[in-house]
Amino acid sequence: MTAILELCNVDAAYGATQILEAVDLAVEARGITTLLGANGAGKTTTLRAICNMMVRVSGEIRFDGERIDGKATEEIVRLGVAHVPDGRGTFLDLTVEENLRIGAYTRRDKRIAADLDQLYGYFPCLKERRRQQAGTLSGGEQQMLAISRALMLRPKLLLLDELSFGLAPLVVQEIFRILHTINRNEGVSMLLVEQNANIALELADHAYLIETGRIVMAGPTAIIACEDTVRRAYLGY
Amino acid sequence: MLSGLANGGIYASVALALVMIYQATHHVNFAQGEMAMFSTYIAWAMIDAGFPYWAAFGLTLVFSFMAGVAIERIIVRPVERAPVLTIVGVFIGLLLILNSLAGWIFSYTIKSFPSPFPSTAWYGSKYMSSHEVGMIVVTLTVLILVFIFFRFTPLGLAMRAAAQNPVSSRLVGIRVGWMLAFGWGLAGAIGAVAGMMAAPIVYLDPNMMSGILLYGFAGALLGGINNPWGAALGGFFVGFLENIAGAYVVGTELKLSVALAIIVGVLVFKPAGLFGPTLVARV
Amino acid sequence: MAYAGLSLAIFRYVGIAAILAVACILPFAVGGYRTSQFSQVLIYAIAVLGLNILTGFNGQISLGQGAFYGIGAYTTAILLDKTAVPYWATVPIAGVICLAAGFLFGRPALRFEGLYLALATLALAVATPQILKFKGFDHWTGGVQGIHLDPPAAPFGLPLNTDRWTYYFCLIWTIALFILARNLLGGRTGRAIIAIRDHPLAAAAMGVDTALYKSLTFGVSAMYTGIAGALGALLSAYVSPDSFPVFLSIKFLVGSVVGGIVSISGAFIGALFIEFTPNFADQISKAAPDAIFGMFLIGLMYLMPRGLIGVFDLIGVQLRRVAFTKRQK
């Protein structure tokens, strides 16, 4: 298995407070990996560490074989890593379409308009509201906007932070279905951070379990989903 | 009354420059006036050396842009995260340096600055001199060009995004630091236009911009400090107000005080500016 | 730890006593011109302290302190010129007038925050010289020519010349006002003032009358600056509208920032800076002294973002650490 993203022995801290300890994680190229854990376990911190946002990181992080730990966030993004942050990070005062166009800011190719159309195809509600201020969209729509904005980068790796948060189950199903399609058709690797273990395990090939900053379990989802501890703690049966 | 509009164009430009930097950094660049003044001196030096007016104008814009970028990267960058008043201290220092340098290099004697709009031109009249008409046209053109830049170009979009939401901007690959520097560059260039338009009227000396900066600041606040076009409108309004105060109320000595008093009075009723949002504090 | 605290407290009291001793013998150690420079330093220190109280401790920015300085100065000048009030009485009168003026300005200014307050106070600073020049007031203010004063003579026939007596007069006021500031800011009032700066809503929720305190702070700050202005008028024996330009208010702000705005003792450092650096800059470059001043200012901002008093605080923290570890051993 070739890993498009590798974390080796990564520690991460906010100021003096250490959150992550000796995290080892890998995302298979063209695959979907999920990172599960309870509130405060360190899932968001892991994604931030990958993008070098707000945390102090030590250890090795490799993307496509190249070390990216210590690089500026915008340089990591330019290498092909798109991050949909918790809170969605919408540009509230820009229009929907401007949000999407800004996602393609670093691209120089001519397929931007075509990609825009393709995303409008996946998310017709965005097309309806393309000239509206993004701040006026509902939570679910902003989530779709955030994903689309990330996809406009044509990333090799998509980092998704708690997509399901605050969304109606049907909306979540829809979004995950689209992610599955994009993964199959475009080969975009994904690292999915989720509290909702059920739906994450349906989508992903590999899973990691994080508790208080340490990875406690790792493996293919088929196996993880059957583990008793996981079932009782995270799947509810 | 119409010459109030002409002055208003200058205040509008300065207000716009102030708001552009404010939106991106939440700091008011108090040195904006002196930067504009220095640029105007550069233009004067070029014209004095024989350059045709519009060539000097264009070159000055380029110089002012680069100077703005340089000032941001070299002087402002180190104190980016410092407390507000420290940054104010740096701006005051910058203001003093530019003022003093201009006096030293170009001397304190008042100089005249040419207007590219000949006084006998067809568009002059008894209500407005041809320079005043030209001034309005130029400042409006600048404002429109800036508007188009921000609205319709990718770089303008990126700059707006970086000002509103630097964190998300980094996540789409925008180099926020450079966007900031470009903002300063643009503000510098806009200020230079204001200075070159004002100089034929107020004459060129190192202190020419202090009153204009004050009016620009007042206009920006009047229009709502977070709203560039409101600020520009505020600038026009201030020009109008200044004119009325001078002509009909108190004469030229007290007009600055009266204009400011009126503006402050307006702000008492509308603390976020005429076009600002009604602020609600979240507990 | 108590041991360490005690030794540090002794260190502090000895330090203050030493500084006071130096301050007292100063006029006899240096010449007349230098003495009046130090008188100006004391006066600036009072004004900068006023600004520190308002902006540093209470969070209300003011670019208009020069206006109150001018009001204080003109109060003294007009009283001496037109009435029989003795010079030493004009100072508290100026203080009271500015207290009222500051309070009256502070009341409507409550609606302003941050930049808007900066503009409003700046408007005040700009308006003051223009109003002082207004022809209608000429009879009182002496118009553009201003008013000349007689310098204060030493009381009880003490053998002090004008420079020295003026210095001691300023010193007495400075010490009194600094002690007042320390008491004000150290107790409940001080905590309320600071709370209003940091969390106005929380302070109000805890029963602090924010509006009253903010207006009062404005008044007190204006009072300090007015007293400084009155003393300044006595020192220079002359007032005119052009003595109080906008730049004076900026100078006070520079003094605050350099010394450390959330500080009482920092006011001295700031005052020393704004009085002596221009002269020093003048020696470095006759042609562009303000540029040198500006460079010093920027340099200080880079090195000490919290003002020079911040450096002393750091040293103090280090000393405490050393004392504490010594104790532990």
Write out the two tokens for B166: 């630097």
Higher pLDDT, B260 or A118: A118
Within C30-143, residue ranges assigned H as helices are: 32-51, 65-82, 87-109, 114-133, 138-141
Interface test with C, best of B264, B270, B278, B283 (most C CBs within 10 A): B264
Answer yes or no: are the C-beta atoms of B166 and B71 closer than 8 Å. Answer: no
- The residues that bridge with A210 in the sheet, in sequence order, are A215
Nearest to A94 among B160, B170, B174 (CB): B160
pLDDT value for A120: 93
Write out chain A in H/E/C secondary structure: CCEEEEEEEEEEEECCEEEEEEEEEEEECCCEEEEECCCCCCHHHHHHHHHCCCCEEEEEEEECCEECCCCCHHHHHHCCEEEECCCCCCCCCCEHHHHHHHHCCCCCCCCHHHHHHHHHHHCHHHHHCCCCEHHHCCHHHHHHHHHHHHHCCCCCEEEEECCCCCCCHHHHHHHHHHHHHHHHHHCCEEEEEECCHHHHHHHCCEEEEEECCEEEEEEEHHHHCCCHHHHHHHHCC
Q: What integer is the mean pLDDT of C123-130?
A: 85
Q: Which of B71-75, B249-253, C320-324 has the lowest mean pLDDT?
A: B249-253
Q: Which tokens hold the place of B149?
A: 């830049």
Instruction: Answer whether B271 touches C (CB < 8 Å).
Output: yes
- Determine the residue among B155, B164, B172, B180 to mutate to test chain A binding: the one whose Cβ has the most chain A Cβ atoms within 10 Å: B172
Determine whether the interchain pair B92/C134 forms a contact, defined as Cβ–Cβ distance below 8 Å: no
B154 neighbourhood in chain A, CB within 8 Å: 101, 105
A53/B contact by beta carbon, under 8 A: yes
**pLDDT confidence bin for B281, thresholds 50/70/90:** very low
Average pLDDT over all residues of chain C: 85
C-beta atoms of B168 and A91 within 8 A: yes
- In this complex, how many residue pairs, one in chain A and one in chain B, have their CB atoms less than 8 Å apart? 63
Topology (CATH level 3) of domain A3-91+155-235: Rossmann fold (3.40.50)
On the question of pLDDT at B119 being above 80, the answer is no
CA distance C300 to chain B (A): 9
Q: Which of A74, A81, A90 to mutate to test the interface with B (most CBs of B within 10 A)?
A: A74
> What span, in angstroms and rounded, lies between the C-alpha atoms of B150 and A91?
15
> Residues C78, C141: contact at Cβ < 8 Å?
yes
Interchain CB contact of A98 with B (< 8 Å): yes
Name the residue in chain B with its Cα closest to that of C130.
Answer: B254
Q: Is B198 part of any domain?
A: yes
Q: Which residues of B fall within a CB distance of 8 Å from C119?
A: 217-218, 221, 260, 263-264, 267
Name which of B153, B159, B168 to mutate to probe chain A: the one with the most chain A Cβ atoms within 10 A of its Cβ. Answer: B168
Nearest Cβ partner for B83 among C118, C298, C306: C306
Give per-residue pLDDT as tens, A117-156: 999 998 999 999 999 999 999 888 899 999 999 999 999 9
Contacts of C104 in chain B (CB under 8 A): none
**What is the pLDDT at residue B282?**
44
Average pLDDT, integer, range A97-122: 92
Asked if A154 reaches chain B (Cβ–Cβ under 8 Å), the answer is no
For C69-93, what is each residue's pLDDT tens digit? Answer: 999 999 999 888 888 888 889 999 9
Domain that holds residue B141: 2-269
Distance CA A34, CA A39 (A): 15
Is B278 a domain residue?
A: no
Higher-confidence residue: B206 or A235? B206
Q: Which two tokens stand for residue B216?
A: 């620009």
Give the integer Cα–Cα distance in Å for C252 and C55.
Answer: 11
- Domains contained in chain B, number: 1
Residue C5: pLDDT over 70: no
- Residue-level pLDDT at B251: 63
Calculate how close chain B gets to C212, using CA atoms only, in Å: 18
The whole-angstrom separation of Cα C307 and Cα B213 is 27
The DSSP secondary-structure symbol of C286 reads S
* B283 — pLDDT class (breaks 50, 70, 90): very low
Instruction: Indicate yes or no: CB of A102 within 8 angstroms of CB of B165.
Output: no
Between A211 and B245, the higher pLDDT residue: A211
> Quick check: B57 pLDDT over 60?
yes
pTM (2 d.p.): 0.84
A97 touches chain B (CB under 8 A): no
Which residues, 6 or more positions from A14, have their beta carbon under 8 angstroms from its beta carbon? Answer: A45, A54, A55, A56
Which range, of A203-217, B157-171, C114-128, averages the lowest pLDDT? C114-128
Name the minimum distance, in Å, from the CA of A204 to any CA of chain B.
Answer: 24
> How many percent of chain C have pLDDT more than 70?
92
| Contact flag C290-B97 (C-beta cutoff 8 Å) | yes
pLDDT band at residue B107 using 50, 70 and 90 as cut-offs = confident
What is the model's pLDDT at position B249? 66
Residue A22: per-residue pLDDT: 92
Q: What is the mean pLDDT of residues C265-280?
A: 90
Q: pLDDT tens digits, residue range B13-56?
A: 999 999 888 888 888 888 999 999 999 999 999 999 999 999 99
Q: How far is B121 from chain C (nearest CA, A)?
A: 37
Q: Is residue B101 part of a domain?
A: yes
Residues paired with residue A33 on neighbouring β-strands, in sequence order: A191, A206
pLDDT digits over A174-186, tens only? 889 999 999 999 8
pLDDT at A114: 93
Contact B104 C287 (CB under 8 A): yes
Cβ-contact C78, C191 below 8 angstroms: no
- Whether residue B278 is predicted with pLDDT greater than 60 in this model: the reply is no
> By three-state DSSP, how is residue B204 classified?
strand
Q: Does A83 touch chain B (CB under 8 A)?
A: yes
**Measuring CA to CA, which residue among C180, C166, C177 is closest to residue C231?**
C166
The residue in chain B having the minimum alpha-carbon distance to the alpha carbon of residue C62 is B85
In Å, how far is B166's CA from the nearest CA of chain C?
22
- Whether the per-residue pLDDT at A210 is higher than 70: the answer is yes
Q: Under an 8 A CB cutoff, do C294 and B253 touch?
A: no
Closest CA of chain B from A88, distance in Å? 9
Do the chains C and A touch each other, judged by at least 3 C-beta pairs below 8 angstroms? no
Residue B99 has pLDDT above 50, yes or no: yes
B283–C305 C-beta distance less than 8 A: no
| Mutation target vs A (from B171, B174, B175; most A CBs, 10 A cutoff) | B171
Cα(B152)–Cα(B150) distance, integer angstroms: 6
CA distance to B34, B236, C115, C156, per residue, from B19 (Å): 16, 15, 12, 60
Chains B–C, number of C-beta pairs less than 8 Å apart: 126
Q: Which member of B164, B165, B174 has the closest CB to residue A74? A: B174
Do B257 and C122 make contact, defined as CB atoms within 8 angstroms?
no
Average pLDDT of the residues in C1-9 = 63
Contact B154 A101 (CB under 8 A): yes
Partners of B253 on chain C (C-beta within 8 Å) are 130, 133-134
Q: Which strands, in side-by-side order, build the sheet including A157-161?
A: A81-84, A157-161, A189-194, A32-36, A206-211, A214-220
For B164-199, how does the pLDDT look when each residue is reduced to its tens digit (9 = 90+)? 899 999 999 999 999 999 999 999 999 999 999 999
Cβ of residue B78 closer than 8 Å to a chain C Cβ? yes
Tokens 């030794």 correspond to C7
Task: Name C112's Cβ contacts closer than 8 Å, sequence gap at least 6.
Answer: B267, B268, B271, C119, C120
Helix/strand/coil percentages in chain B, nearest 5: 75, 0, 25
Contact (CB<8Å) C288/B100: yes
Separation of CA C166 from chain center: 17
Each domain of chain C, given as residue ranges in start order, spans 33-245
B280 part of a folded domain: no
pLDDT band per the 50, 70, 90 thresholds, residue C41 = very high
- A56-63, strands of its sheet edge to edge: A17-28, A3-14, A56-63, A66-67
| Average pLDDT of the segment spanning B236-262 | 78
Q: Using a CB-CB distance cutoff of 8 angstroms, which residues of chain A are in contact with residue B157?
A: 94, 98, 101-102, 105
Whole-number pLDDT of residue C83: 86
Q: Are A130 and A176 in contact (CB under 8 A)?
A: no
Chain A: partners with 3+ C-beta pairs within 8 Å: B
Task: Give the C-alpha separation, B108 to B86, whole Å.
Answer: 30
- The answer to whether the CB atoms of C126 and B214 lie below 8 A apart is yes
Out of A72, A92, A103, the one facing B172 most closely (by C-beta) is A103
Residue B250 pLDDT > 70: no
CA angle B71, B86, C312 (to 5 degrees): 130
Closest B-chain CA to C205: B283
Beta bridge partners of A17: A14
Q: Does B83 touch chain C (CB under 8 A)?
A: yes
Give the residue on B whose Cα is nearest the Cα of A83.
B171
What residues does each domain of chain A span? 3-91+155-235
> What is the secondary structure of C17-41 as a DSSP string?
HHHHHHHHHHHHHS-HHHHHHHHHH
Closest residue, chain A, to B176 (C-alpha):
A74
CATH number at residue B241: 1.10.3470
Residues of chain B with a CB closer than 8 angstroms to some CB in chain A: 154, 157-158, 160-161, 164-165, 167-176
Interface touch B170/A74, C-beta < 8 Å: yes
